[in-house]
Amino acid sequence: MVPPSAQLGHAALTKRYPQALPLLGELKAATTEVLDAATPLRRGCIELPESLEFEMIRLCVVAAQLDQLYRAYPFVIDKTTLLEGTSVVSFDKARAQVPWFLIDQVHDQVRRANIALGPLHANSAKAIAGMSFTGSELVGGADADLLVDGLLLDFKSTHKATSIGRSDVYQLAGYVLLDFDDLHQIDRVGVYWTRHGVLRTFTLSTFFQLLGATVSVPELRAELRWHLTAHERRRSSYIGTEQRRREHAATNEHCQPAEPGEEPQRSRTGLRRAAKWLRSALRN
């Protein structure tokens, strides 16, 4: 019920603030309680009855705050409302302090989703939120928003016009190609603009043809896997060599330890390498 990214954010928070440990369990229990109270929903209806919808939005905001801690911990830890000074707020306070203007904004987007995504919801057999891919760790972590019966959807909450930019294209293409073993069986991709209620989708073959791909998706996946795996081997080799060098320096009393070199960072160089390769492969 709670996205994996929010669970990872909770783990990061708990590592430094052990008193945050109960927060995740309380969030899961409250989410389950709301969904149980709303069952059964009318087929194709995304919005819950109003009082339950407001409560669900509060819970989603708390989960989103944990998600932020996972994605950008050093930059948001001193701004998160989950902390008061050096203390973690209670779960009841975390959800009660969600401002009404934010609840109204999200509620408006949910109402729009009833129209734009209602048919998709009504006819879906399987939906997965926040899933990762076989190659996610090779680029420092990559998780998509939603997969519905083979349709990979990326959600945009921007106020900007509903145009698909270059970064959106590479993001979707990257997700598809990081699914090295086709575990998710993605056959379509799309973008949904939550503030506009606009959904645009493409079949996988059309999407990559429009991007200028000259080989099949399985071939692109295999090539990206080779590039990223080779980079990870070099990175691991560097780390091992650097560790042995430091150990040797530490055991030799006449040898001054050398300054450590710069370790290749998986999350930065792996991602940059993937993006550079993707631009080249798609000729775009």
Q: Are strands 127-129 and 146-148 parallel, antiparallel or unpaired?
A: antiparallel
Q: How far apart are CA 42 and CA 201, in angstroms?
A: 25
Q: What tokens does 182 get?
A: 């086709």
In degrees rounded to 5, what are phi and psi of residue 2? -105, 130
What pLDDT sits at residue 283? 56
What pLDDT sits at residue 275? 62
Name the residue with higher pLDDT: 175 or 239.
Answer: 175
Give the CA radius of gyration of the chain.
22
Question: Burial letters for 142-168: b for 16+ Cβ neighbours within 10 Å, e otherwise?
Answer: bbbbbbbeebbbbebeeeeeeeeeeee
> Per-residue pLDDT for 84 more than 50?
yes
Q: How far apart are CA 163 and CA 64, in angstroms?
A: 25
Give pLDDT tens digits for 33-76: 999 998 877 777 899 999 999 999 999 999 999 999 998 999 99
Angle (CA) 36-40-42 rounded to 5° is 135
Please provide the average confidence, as pLDDT, over all residues in the chain. 87
Find out whether 116 and 200 touch, Cβ atoms under 8 Å.
Answer: no
Residue 45 three-state SS: coil
Name the residue with higher pLDDT: 39 or 136.
Answer: 136
**CA dist 58 to 27, 32, 102, 179, Å?**
10, 14, 9, 33
Predicted TM-score (pTM) of the model is 0.80
Give pLDDT tens digits for 207-263: 999 888 889 999 999 999 998 888 878 777 766 677 777 776 777 655 554 444 444
Q: How far apart are CA 199 and CA 16, in angstroms?
A: 40
Mean pLDDT over 156-163 rounds to 82
Give pLDDT tens digits for 114-129: 999 999 998 898 999 9
Q: What tokens does 199 get?
A: 């959904």
Mean pLDDT over 87-114 rounds to 96
> Per-residue pLDDT for 265 more than 60?
no
